[in-house]
Each structure stands twice: as structure tokens, then as C-alpha cells.
Amino acid sequence: MGYPILQDQDYLKLTEGASLVKRTRTKIRLLLSRDGKIIKHIYKRKLLSSSTIWPYATRFINNAQYLRSRNILVPDIRSVFYYPTLNCDILIYDYVDGRTLYDMARDNDLSFFPRFVEYVAQLHKLGIYFQDIHLDNIVVKDNTFTLLDLESIQIKRRSLTKSLRARNLVHLFNKKEDIPFYHQFGVENFLNQYYDLACLSDRLRQKITHYLSTRIPHGDPTPALQTAYSV
């Protein structure tokens, strides 16, 4: 189902006075409007892909509805349009007040980590596989987390299998900008707390730990990760 078309004059009105939040070298990704709305640009891919059949904007909206039904906080979506001039979907949602975990860690505040470990274990228990999970995709306020970038989430009917848990933890620990903060908190500490909260057997712990140890890129400047995985 197509979204309402956004005309040039309406796009200019929507973005007038907006602040740039995120962009790539050639494209705008996120804007913050003057009335406190995030204007997310989701660009169409030129080649045929799964996003042609199931657009990322639709994934974002559907995932938001499901996560909210499981008491996982997500942004409140206001509207969605297709903007042909930029060949992208425009998703408008409320700005999420608070700080990203990355911003807290960068300011040497790692107090969120115990709650974060619990949060990851909770997502996995609910069958939520967040491929783009990293510290800049989660906002915290009053010790409550809100997920961002919901289009990369896969939802399973049951708790994640050991292989999916392991793959998701690899994504978590291999985000280059986040690695120093996991070192400060302690990767082994993170894993042990996660295993306890997830109530995993010793056998599953060993299998996941082994998987993680084989997925650290060769030449990675973080040998402490490999040491921590080799428990």
C-alpha cells in the first residue's frame, strides 16, 4: 500500500527551520523540526530487494506497534509520506527525550550498563532480534529505555535460539565506536550477567561463548574481547 504523496511545497514547509540530526556524505537521514518532531528519511533502493515488497517504513511502523504491545517503549509515530523528489519515505515521529547510551558512555557515565544487560536479556526472551543494536540506538530517561531505528528488528514467536542470541551479541560487541565502553564495563562481566538473567544452562553458555570467540575479526584492535570470550 502506497503512502500519501508529499509535494515539494509541503516538504519545504515541513522542514523549514529544522535542525540536522544525522546525515551521510550525500543524503539527509534525520531532521528535528521546530515543533519537536523527528523527520526520518528512508531512501528507496534502486535494485530489487526485500524492501521493494516490504518497505522499511512499513517495517518501522509494524515493529513499533508490536513492541508497544509488549511494553517496549518506542517513538510515537505521527505520519508517513512518500516524497518522490528524493525518492524516499518520510516518517514523522515525536522526538524521544533523554540521552542515548552512547552519549552517557562518552561522558564517562556507565551507570546504565547493569540495566542495559537486563534490557538485552529481556528483548531476547521476548523473541526480539535487533540487528542494529548499539549504544546510539537506545535512549534512556529515568532508567527507562526507548528503542530507535526499528526497521532492522526481527520478531520471533518464541525466545531467541542460542544461535540468534549469539549473533545479536556479536552485533552488539562489534560496533567500533562502542567497543571501548564494553572494555570499561568488562565484556566478561556483561556476558556473565546476561547469562544469569537469561537463565541459560552451562552448555548453552559455552556454545554462545565459543561462537563469539570465533566471530572477532582478525586484526581487531581489541584483544581483550577475545580474552573475555575464551572463558
CA distance 15 to 202: 53
> 192 pLDDT band (50/70/90 cuts)?
very high
Tell me whether residue 192 is in a domain: yes
* Cell of residue 203, nine digits: 552448555
pLDDT at 221 over 50: no
Number of structural domains the chain divides into? 2
- Which whole number is the average pLDDT over 145-172? 92
Does residue 223 share a domain with residue 111?
A: yes
Going edge to edge, which strands form the sheet with 19-23?
Answer: 19-23, 28-32, 37-43, 88-94, 77-83
Share of the chain above pLDDT 90, in %: 69
Does residue 208 share a domain with residue 155?
A: yes
Question: pTM of the full predicted structure?
Answer: 0.85
44-66 residues labelled b (16+ CB within 10 A) or e (exposed): beeeeeebeeebbbbbbbebbee
Tell me whether residue 83 is in a domain: yes
Does residue 179 share a domain with residue 126?
A: yes
Does residue 150 share a domain with residue 54?
A: no
Tell me whether residue 1 is in a domain: no
Q: Which of 94, 123, 156 is the last residue of a domain?
A: 94
Range of the domain at 48: 8-94
CA torsion sign for 156, 210, 192, 178 is: negative
Please tell me which residue, 199 or 51, carries the higher pLDDT value: 199
CA distance 151 to 133: 11
- C-beta contacts of 9-15 below 8 A and 24+ residues apart: 11/83, 11/85, 11/90, 14/39, 14/90, 14/92, 15/39
> 51 pLDDT band (50/70/90 cuts)?
low
Return mean pLDDT, the chain. 88
